[in-house]
Amino acid sequence: MVRIEMALLLIHRPNRLKYVDSGVMPNMTYEGDVLRPGGSEAVRHSETDLKGLKQDFRQLHEKVQRITTEKMQLERELDGLRKTSQRLDEEVKLLRSPPLIIGHLQDLIGEHSAVVRSSNGTVFKVSVNSSIERETLKPGCRVTLNQDSLAIIDVLLDGWDPLITGAEMIERPNVVYDQIGGLDEQIALLREAIELPLEKPELFVAVGIEPPKGVLLMGPPGCGKTMIAKAVAAHSKSTFIRLVGSELAQKYIGEGGRMVRELFALAREKSPSIIFIDEIDAIGAKRLDTATSGDREVQRTLMQLLAELDGFNPLDSVKIIAATNRHDILDDALLRPGRFDRIIEIPLPNEKGRRAILKILISKMSTNRVQIGHLVSSTDGFCGADLKALCVEAGMQAIRCSRGRVRVSDFNSALKTVIKAKQESTTALPAELYG
């Protein structure tokens, strides 16, 4: 009877039982073909399984997202590695490619031909790369040539010699005119010939004269020629280029003249500028008929320097300062007006000059009321470098005795040491040379 009532009240569907009336046997569940009582425990098991499935689904979803993120990162890394590999392949290809020859363009012939001079001096008629802009192909420019066909591959920028570009002074020296004693007149002559035309050129235009081109400083070693040039470099706002004359003396023919041309070209490009050539006697010695091949190359460098100082190309805002302690061997063409318009002698300091130099040097030292009258009278014939050596030796005497101040006895002992060193020196030049 019970089975008949259940059959009437329930509608059977595949894999599912649906109650027609929720009030009839709510705790019954269908297992296979058998209907069994369920209850709250079965419901709790179902809820627990559902929560477990949700948690598993959430974990799987997070895992999928994490794997997707890792996949995207790996793809980005793979793209970066591919780009690096391509760049390295290109670099290897460039390293394996044959080198190019550096030459100079002399003339253009038509649209696709040109005349070039290779690095060994041979002249060729070659073809021109069609991708090169015609505006960049100018006679005299540097070009790269294929090693086999000598065709023009690319146009290079005009290059400066590293020795010339490195000669430009970047950091100004901390030397001022007040630190140079006994040379007030010489400093005034130098400043009005070098600094005044650069700072106030309108004065020379109003008077109607051309400003001096260069100044030659000559005198015994150690009298302050280079120190004056340092003060000019520190005080002037112009570009300061300094070189030693021996750096312009090169081994190969034409190299010294080329460096002189580039030196003045750099000075004109960065004008207003000042060129300082120390020890100019290295390339400015008198030209002789009997000379070796090396001497003739030095003479070629001198002739290029003469042409730059007083040639067709005006110097405008470029001034030259040169220094030497052997003016007796300089070429006459270098000393004439129009090249070095003002020759300033830097002599050995007299008594007044020695007093001024010693005051400057001793003012920087820690002393106990040193009277410099005795030192001034005892240092006749001393140059500025000798006086500086005297002060340094006096300071060393105090340091040997572990004292923080220099005494008069230290200066007296240092004076004897310096005089003895001067008497024993074998490099002293004859006194009449600078008389």
CA distance 375 to 364: 17
**pLDDT over 70, % of the chain:** 86
Amino acid at 137: L
| Residue 85's pLDDT band (cuts 50, 70, 90) | very high
Tokens of 146: 């294929």
pLDDT tens-digit map of 269-327: 888 899 999 989 888 888 877 667 777 888 888 888 888 888 777 777 889 999 998 88
pLDDT for the residue numbered 408: 87
Pairing relationship of beta strands 214-218 and 318-324 according to DSSP bridges: parallel
Give 88-139 pLDDT, tens digit per residue: 988 888 777 778 888 888 888 877 888 988 877 788 888 888 888 878 888 8
What torsion do the CA atoms of 224, 273, 322, 312 make, to the nearest 10 degrees?
Answer: -170
User: 108 - beta bridge partners?
Assistant: 114
pLDDT at 297: 82
Examine the pLDDT at 30 and tell me if it is beyond 60.
no
pLDDT at 216: 92
pTM of the model: 0.65
CA–CA distances in Å: residue 13 to residues 18, 30, 191? 8, 11, 117
Residue 5 has pLDDT above 60, yes or no: no
13 has which bridge partners? 16
Q: Cβ atoms within 10 A of the Cβ of 42, count? A: 13
Of residues 120 and 210, more confidently modeled = 210
| Confidence at residue 22, expressed as pLDDT on a 0 to 100 scale | 41
Q: What is the pLDDT of residue 28?
A: 52
Q: Which residues of 225-247 are buried (b: 16+ CB within 10 A; e: fewer)?
A: bbbbbbbbbbebebbbbbbbbeb
Amino acid at residue number 288: L
Convert the pLDDT of each residue in 407-424 to its tens digit: 888 888 888 888 888 887
